[in-house]
Amino acid sequence: MKIKKYLVASLLCGSGMTAFAQMDTLSFTKERQEIRAIVHDPASSANSAESCNDVVMVGAKGDISFTARGLKDARSQEKVVFKSVKPVPGSEIIRIYNANTAVVNWLAAVQLQVDGHEVALKVRRLEVYVKKQGNWCRVAGQGTQVDEQLFPDPK
């Protein structure tokens, strides 16, 4: 009898966790489009407003910057010059919460120059945006280089 109760409880608990783990990638269509536009055009409105001065960015080597200026300074010390950062089409996973917070995961094809040498790599980005005074502001971001030997391009 105890085994039967245990099995039923285990099944119910497992099925509940499965339902909880599903992501909502369909709600908040307008906000999702706004965030997708920001990811595809970094020069767009995100972080351009006065209210967007609250950010934590983690660099490739674990360095932390609290301002856009701090991030640029860290990159210049590492002698890194970004030539281009382009989203890989269809790689975005955008989750919106309460129409004012977005968590975005996307794959970037990055061309850069490190200490005078050209480098091409893929970076998995995780970014958090908050809507302040009607503008989306990136408040957190981190990129991790994708090991293309372990995770080749699925093309």
| pLDDT computed for residue 17 by the predictor | 44
| pLDDT computed for residue 112 by the predictor | 87
| pLDDT computed for residue 75 by the predictor | 67
Q: What is the pLDDT of residues 78-112, one digit of tens each?
A: 677 788 889 998 899 999 999 999 999 999 999 98
Q: Which domains does the chain have, with CATH numbers?
A: 24-145 (3.10.450.50)
Q: Which residues of the chain have pLDDT under 50?
A: 7-8, 11-12, 15-21
| pLDDT computed for residue 150 by the predictor | 76
| pLDDT computed for residue 19 by the predictor | 44
| pLDDT computed for residue 24 by the predictor | 76
| pLDDT computed for residue 7 by the predictor | 47
Taking residue 71's Cβ as centre, other Cβ atoms within 10 Å add up to 18
The pTM for the full model equals 0.74
CA 44, CA 52: separation in Å to the nearest integer? 13
| pLDDT computed for residue 107 by the predictor | 93
| pLDDT computed for residue 44 by the predictor | 65
| pLDDT computed for residue 22 by the predictor | 61
